[in-house]
Amino acid sequence: MISDPLVLSVVLIGIMFFFLLSSIWIGAALMLTGIVGMFLFEHNLPPAISLFQKAGDLLAGSMYDSMNSWSLAALPMFILMGEILYHSSISTRLLNGLMPWLAKVPGRLLHVNVAACSLFAAVSGSSAATTATVGKITLGELKSRGYSKKLAIGSLAGSGTLGFLIPPSLIMIIYGVLSDVSIGKLFIAGILPGLLLATSYSFYIMIVSTIDKTTVPQTQETFTNMDRLNSLKDLAPIFSLIGLVMGSIYGGFATPTEAAALGVVGAITLALFFKSFNWTIFKESLFNAVKTTVMISFIIIGAGFLSQVVGFLGIARAISEFIGGLGLSPYMLILVIGLMYIVLGMILDGISIVVMTLPIVLPIIVMAGFDPLWFGIFLVFMVELSQITPPVGFSLFVIQSISGEKISYILKATFPFFIIMILIVMVVTIFPEIVTYLPTKMVG
């Protein structure tokens, strides 16, 4: 009989990957892993009633505990808001409004991906929705105008991940619920790192386009001041929606859940105003939002059950003690955990990474003296990296479906932006004040 918790963890991880690689639903794979773990290591569990009843009671309890959170109500609202924006003409107006302002910047319209993704991320909260929406608008347009296809795809892949970092963010909501960290503070904490990452992307585009003149067309479009003034009417709706959602949170007028509901109302109102909203669009948006929410909820339930089994088996405590006993410095600990997340990102989606690892990793991080608020942003960065790492990088598949390019070509185009993100993670780790400054000043 196996009794060493570290050996148990290795066996349980092997079982989990077996189920994950069998192509069944991720939530089901996590539940089955927990159930099999209970059967194989029954002697490690506290004595009580029959094993079947233990598993049933534990599953029912973890299901209730995982989903009994008012904060989770924000999840379907933000998803629905992103779907409405995606299916209406608002996203197209966003691109048209940005074009006159970027004409004289080195790289010109190649910055549209960065700017559009940053703005759409501020009202969507979904990396997939951000990448798909902006990509469908920009890739074909940039290609027809003679811009570098490789740089356009790479900037879209990197900037599309901003949907997780720039608030509101689905990952931040899930992290806040699981870690008992204020979701409002997480939203505020993501602003400066998000802007820093977006600025770094634009800076890289400026350098490349200055060195390699073939990345931009030789003929330059010109826009007058009147064109820029007229473009404000296309940008105003997005800025208004951002102000409604984020202003209500930061101003203390609404919780993130209430702000998400306001965002849905605002998105519908704008879509109606521009006559790009009908019953078909609403029905499709609602269906996609329900489907995505159920998928995420199923994963959270499965991960909650597995985390309770892991706790009963003593695995989390043993791993915490093992890593703590290694005598790693805080920065070395973060390096090891970061490498672990990059590896996990190659085989798991971002939401699964958060809910599966957090019960084990967060106590270690707190024990090492790191701020859980800071770690939430660090974890979001790790999830962003998972979106553009093969073979499960979801953003890569979204871009492939839009562009029709081979995944190997997309990987080569994305690699520089992957490196930039790692560099920004290092900066945020060395200077944690980038994360904690705004929450301290704005919330107190």
pLDDT digits (tens, 9 = 90+) for 143-168: 877 888 899 899 988 888 887 888 77
In the predicted structure, residue 171 carries a pLDDT above the cut 70: yes
Residues 120, 126: Cα–Cα separation, whole Å: 9
Q: Are 201 and 417 in contact (CB under 8 A)?
A: yes
Neighbours of 381 (CB within 10 A): 23
In the predicted structure, residue 55 carries a pLDDT above the cut 80: no
Nearest Cα neighbor of 45 from 33, 30, 60, 35 is 35
Per-residue confidence at 200, pLDDT binned at 50, 70, 90? Answer: very high
Residues 195, 193: Cα–Cα separation, whole Å: 6
What does the pLDDT average to over 31-60? 66
What does the pLDDT average to over 84-113? 78
What does the pLDDT average to over 330-342? 86
pLDDT for the residue numbered 4: 62
Is 252 contained in some domain? yes
Is 210 contained in some domain? yes
Q: Are 170 and 164 in contact (CB under 8 A)?
A: yes
Is 269 contained in some domain? yes
**Residue 295: CB partners within 8 Å, gap ≥ 6?**
27
Which has the minimum average pLDDT: 41-45, 301-305, 306-310, 418-422?
41-45
In the predicted structure, residue 340 carries a pLDDT above the cut 60: yes
Tokens 């204020």 correspond to what residue? 182
pLDDT for the residue numbered 206: 92
Percent of the chain with pLDDT over 90: 13
In the predicted structure, residue 45 carries a pLDDT above the cut 70: no
Per-residue confidence at 49, pLDDT binned at 50, 70, 90? Answer: very low
What is residue 181's three-state secondary structure? coil
Per-residue confidence at 354, pLDDT binned at 50, 70, 90? Answer: confident
**Can you say how many angstroms the Cα of residue 409 is from the centroid of all Cα atoms in its chain?**
23
Is 168 contained in some domain? yes
Which residues span the domain enclosing 269?
70-292
Paired tokens of 370 = 């790191």
Is 113 contained in some domain? yes
Residues 282, 88: Cα–Cα separation, whole Å: 10
In the predicted structure, residue 71 carries a pLDDT above the cut 50: yes
Q: How many CA atoms lie within 13 A of 218 on its CB side?
A: 0
Nearest Cα neighbor of 163 from 204, 202, 206, 132 is 132
Paired tokens of 19 = 């189920």
Is 202 contained in some domain? yes
Residues 296, 378: Cα–Cα separation, whole Å: 21
Neighbours of 223 (CB within 10 A): 15
Q: Are 181 and 376 in contact (CB under 8 A)?
A: yes
**What's the domain count of the chain?**
1
Is 364 contained in some domain? no
pLDDT in tens, 264-299: 999 899 889 888 888 998 999 899 888 877 877 787
What is residue 176's three-state secondary structure? helix
Is 149 contained in some domain? yes
